[in-house]
């Protein structure tokens, strides 16, 4: 058990600077699009990271199913379960105050039919505190989007390189590279918007295609590997921090090297333990001077009377 000082839970201790302290809502993001103010988004999967991302005033925090790969070590996002997503979303919920919090619906949680999707999406809102859910797909998700919207669950769409379509795509490939494929993406985007989608993630699509979709839609687009014209950008936090143990994709910019930071810190700790330089006297608890005297005298007296009995094994 950690004996670290209890966390402060009051609002003042976890509030962003005043200019960025207002709670982000969907209308906030809509307004950002209208005013051409870029939207920042990142993934988070646990309390500590969520809190740091939120304190940095990122607008949208997504509990992505990418957690399957970067947190759980799966080969793809396909094995991720509802229970894994709910557990992480609850942890992130406890760390996020300001940002809009969205959760990814994992593979097979909405693929049977729209009713299954609504049932599972409701769990994200009721049991984990999500403010929106994200689903992958285009025109084939129109009924689901309409049903979720009808159930008061804001929906984030996801088009282009959709990792849950890994097998159909035959790998993680940029999508919409031919004119017909690009036109299909535009049609998908328009259909999702018409069905009630609140935001649209565009992943792994040519910049020109994302730019046209962003222009044609009135809802904000959030790009990842989709160029700078999107209304906002999202990255997987672990990619940004060099914690994903994979070569960075073209669109990833590394903003820090948490892997080196953690490796160096852990190695320094191990060396200090091995050389007995940790813990120091200052890092140890102490008896009061009076108790110490009595304790040391008592031990010495017991050792003088019956040294062996002290170490007698207890009878069962």
Region from 57-65, 108-116, 213-221, 306-314 binding ligand KIV, contact rule CB under 6 A: 57-65
Residue 236, number of CB atoms within 10 A of its CB:
22
d(CA 54, CA 101) in angstroms, rounded, equals: 10
Contact between 65 and ligand KIV per CB under 6 A: yes
- Residue 164 as a binder of ligand KIV (CB under 6 A): the answer is no
Collect all residues with Cβ–Cβ distance below 8 Å to 309 and sequence separation of at least 6. none
Regarding 64 and contact with ligand KIV (CB under 6 A), the answer is yes
Only segment of 16-24, 63-71, 147-155, 184-192 that touches ligand KIV (CB under 6 A)? 63-71
Q: Which of 31, 203, 229, 267 is catalytic?
A: 203
Closest CB to ligand KIV among residues 201, 243:
201
224 binds ligand KIV (CB under 6 A): yes
| Whether residue 203 lies in the annotated active site | yes
Binding to ligand KIV by residue 236, rule CB under 6 A? Answer: yes
Tell me how far apart the alpha carbons of residues 260 and 182 are, in angstroms, rounded to a whole number.
40
Q: Name the one range near ligand KIV by CB under 6 A: 27-35, 62-70, 190-198, 212-220.
A: 62-70
When the beta carbons of 65 and 231 are compared against ligand KIV, the nearer one is 65
Where does the chain show beta strands of DSSP type E? 39-43, 60-63, 100-104, 132-136, 155-160, 199-203, 221-224, 232-235
Asked whether position 54 contacts ligand KIV by CB under 6 A, the answer is no
What number of other Cβ atoms are within 10 A of residue 116's Cβ?
Answer: 14
Asked if 73 contacts 54 with a C-beta cutoff of 8 angstroms, the reply is no
Within positions 66 to 95, which residues make up the interface with ligand KIV, using CB under 6 A?
A: 66
Q: Angle at CA 145, nearest 5°, toward 140 and 150?
A: 145
Q: Which is nearer to ligand KIV, 62 or 142 (CB)?
A: 62
| SS3 state at 232 | strand
CA gap 151, 313 in Å, rounded: 65
Cβ distance to ligand KIV smaller for residue 64 or 137: 64
Q: What is the DSSP letter of 137?
A: B
- Of residues 14 through 53, those in contact with ligand KIV by CB under 6 A are 43
Active site amino acids: 203
Chain residues binding ligand KIV by CB under 6 A are 43, 62, 64-66, 104, 201, 203, 224, 234, 236
């Amino acid at each position: 058990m950690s004996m670290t000082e209890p966390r402060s839970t009051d609002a003042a201790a976890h509030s962003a600077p005043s200019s960025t302290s207002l709670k982000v809502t969907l209308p906030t993001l809509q307004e950002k699009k209208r005013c051409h103010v870029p939207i920042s988004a990142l993934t988070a999967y646990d309390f500590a990271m969520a809190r740091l991302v939120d304190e940095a005033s990122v607008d949208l925090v997504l509990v992505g199913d990418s957690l399957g790969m970067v947190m759980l070590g799966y080969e793809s996002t396909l094995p991720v379960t509802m229970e894994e997503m709910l557990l992480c979303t609850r942890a992130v919920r406890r760390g996020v105050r300001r940002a809009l919090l969205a959760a990814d619906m994992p593979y097979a949680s909405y693929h049977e039919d729209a009713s299954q999707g609504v049932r599972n999406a409701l769990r994200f809102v009721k049991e984990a505190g999500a403010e929106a859910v994200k689903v992958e797909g285009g025109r084939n998700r129109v009924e689901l989007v309409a049903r979720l919207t009808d159930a008061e669950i804001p929906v984030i769409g996801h088009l282009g390189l959709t990792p849950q379509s890994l097998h159909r795509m035959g790998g993680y490939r940029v999508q919409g590279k031919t004119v017909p494929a690009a036109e299909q993406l535009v049609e998908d985007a328009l259909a999702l918007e018409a069905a009630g989608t609140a935001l649209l993630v565009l992943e792994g699509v040519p910049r020109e295609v994302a730019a046209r979709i962003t222009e044609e839609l009135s809802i904000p687009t959030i790009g990842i590997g989709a160029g700078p014209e999107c209304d906002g950008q999202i990255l997987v936090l672990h990619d940004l921090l060099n914690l994903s143990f994979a070569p960075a994709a073209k669109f990833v910019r590394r903003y820090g090297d948490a892997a080196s930071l953690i490796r160096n810190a852990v190695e320094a700790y191990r060396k200090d333990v091995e050389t007995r330089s940790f813990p120091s006297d200052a890092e140890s608890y102490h008896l009061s001077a009076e108790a110490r005297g009595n304790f040391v005298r008592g031990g010495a007296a017991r050792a003088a009377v019956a040294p062996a009995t002290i170490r007698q094994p207890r009878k069962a």
